């Protein structure tokens, strides 16, 4: 059984929209999630999840009132990215696609609605 996660960066009215996904077998996800959650839990402050839009903007889970600042956020991001690079490439599949939304809107204007 495969498990996959998907996300996007940007909005439909932006110039570019990036879609990404990552997929792996269930047993691989168990290991990844255990290690990921460990990294989140050992720092000071601790984090219950990573959501870059919150972390980079010091809001929500990562607001200053909870002890976060830019260096602490970057330390956590670096720890998580460093961990991701240790996952064997044959155990995980990553997908990324960036869409030029100006070209997409132009194409959409040429297609007759169904």
Give the pLDDT confidence of 10-55 residue by residue, as tens digits.
887 899 999 999 999 999 999 999 999 999 999 899 999 999 999 9
Is residue 19 a contact partner of residue 99, using CB atoms and an 8 Å limit? Answer: yes
Domain boundaries, the chain: 2-110
Assess contact for 27 and 34: CB atoms under 8 A: no
When mean pLDDT is compared across 10-19, 82-91, 94-103, the lowest value belongs to 10-19
Rounded to whole angstroms, the Cα distance separating 102 from 12 reads 10
User: Would you say 70 and 63 are in contact if contact means Cβ atoms under 8 Å apart?
Assistant: no
Contacts of 77 (CB under 8 A, 6+ apart): 50, 52, 55
């Amino acid at each position: 059984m495969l498990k996959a996660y998907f996300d996007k960066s940007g909005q439909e009215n932006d110039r570019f929209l990036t879609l990404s996904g990552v997929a792996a077998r269930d047993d691989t996800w168990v290991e990844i999630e255990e290690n990921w959650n460990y990294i989140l839990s050992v720092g000071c402050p601790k984090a219950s999840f990573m959501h870059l839009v919150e972390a980079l903007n010091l809001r929500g889970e990562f607001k200053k009132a909870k002890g976060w600042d830019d260096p602490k956020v970057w330390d956590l991001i670096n720890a998580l990215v460093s961990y991701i690079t240790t996952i064997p490439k044959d155990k995980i599949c990553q997908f990324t696609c960036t869409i030029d939304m100006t070209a997409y809107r132009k194409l959409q204007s040429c297609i007759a609605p169904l």
